Every structure is written in C-alpha cells, then in structure tokens.
C-alpha cells in the first residue's frame, strides 16, 4: 500500500467526532477520487480556536494556489496564451494539465488537492466561511487525511 495523497480537509460540525465522520463519509461516497484506504490523523486535527489553525489553513490554500499557478505555467509553456489556443491542445499530457487545472477551479477533489473545503465544495476559502470561522471557531476543524493505494497508477480522478 503506497501513500499517494495528503489532504487537509475543512469541515464544520458540533465535535471532532462528527467532523471526522463527515470526512470518512465523504471519501466513502465521492466518485471524484478513490483510495484503497484513507487514514485520518486525529492528533494533528485542529479546531478553529487552535492557535495555529489559521496559519495551517492559509498555508494549505496557498499550496493549492501554487499548484494551480504551476499548471497554468505548464499550459503557457505548451502555447496556451488565450482561450482559442485550447482548440489546439493535444490529447494526452496537454489536455490532462488543463483537466487537472479545471478541477482546482471547479472544486473537484483530486489526488493533487492539498486543501479541500467540504463546507463550500472548493479548493479555496470563501469570505463567508472565513467569517463563520472567526465567529464560531470551535465549530470548524481541519482534518488531515492520507490516501493510500495498492495500484497508484490506477487511482481514478473520476470513478464511473
């Protein structure tokens, strides 16, 4: 079994136990990404009132932004300067880069997702959710999740 992904999941609930259950249910039901096994690091989970919560949250969102920027740079490197250039993309690596970039924008979790916001189904943090965290920090949790696979090359981005 090989670890192929690490995610930091933002969730809201009445307790760590209820938030943990939401995360487990999400990974059990989502068709966007499948792992043979997930592990939740309960000791590293943080409530919104923890002193490092905001730092960890902001760092994780920044990592997602850096991944998206890198994907866009790759697209520019293969000649995409405007939307009409998308018509010239070759199927394979080029189209896969676009595919992964759009997942970051549209909110589909993937193995590349560092941060995932279950509240907003997003790779980002909305201002409303940021304000809700400020108003009721103990209702929010960051839950670290590792995804494992027996056959990493066969992990589905979208399982049908």
Q: What is the DSSP letter of 9?
A: E
pTM, two decimal places = 0.89
CA distance 84 to 138: 47
Please give the pLDDT value at position 157.
47
Cα 66 from chain centre: 13
What are the domain boundaries of the chain? 12-32+81-160
| Average pLDDT taken over every residue of the chain | 92
CA-atom Rg of the chain in angstroms: 17
> Distances from the Cα of 55 to the Cαs of 69, 88, 123, in angstroms?
21, 41, 16
CA distance 135 to 52: 17
pLDDT band at 31 (very low <50, low <70, confident <90, very high): confident
pLDDT band at 142 (very low <50, low <70, confident <90, very high): very high
Please give the pLDDT value at position 150.
85
């Amino acid at each position: 079994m090989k670890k192929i992904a690490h995610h930091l999941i933002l969730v809201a609930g009445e307790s760590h136990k209820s938030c943990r259950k939401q995360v487990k249910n999400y990974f059990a039901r989502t068709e966007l990404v499948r792992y043979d096994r997930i592990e939740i690091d309960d000791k590293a989970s943080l409530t919104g009132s923890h002193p490092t919560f905001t730092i960890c949250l902001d760092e994780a969102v920044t990592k997602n932004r850096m991944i998206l920027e890198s994907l866009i740079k790759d697209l520019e490197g293969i000649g995409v300067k405007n939307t009409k250039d998308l018509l010239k993309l070759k199927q394979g690596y080029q189209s896969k880069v676009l595919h992964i970039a759009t997942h970051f924008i549209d909110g589909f979790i993937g193995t590349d997702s560092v941060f995932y916001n279950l509240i907003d189904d997003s790779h980002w943090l909305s201002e409303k959710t940021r304000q809700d965290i400020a108003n009721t920090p103990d209702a929010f949790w960051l839950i670290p999740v590792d995804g494992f696979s027996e056959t990493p090359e066969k992990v589905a981005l979208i399982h049908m």
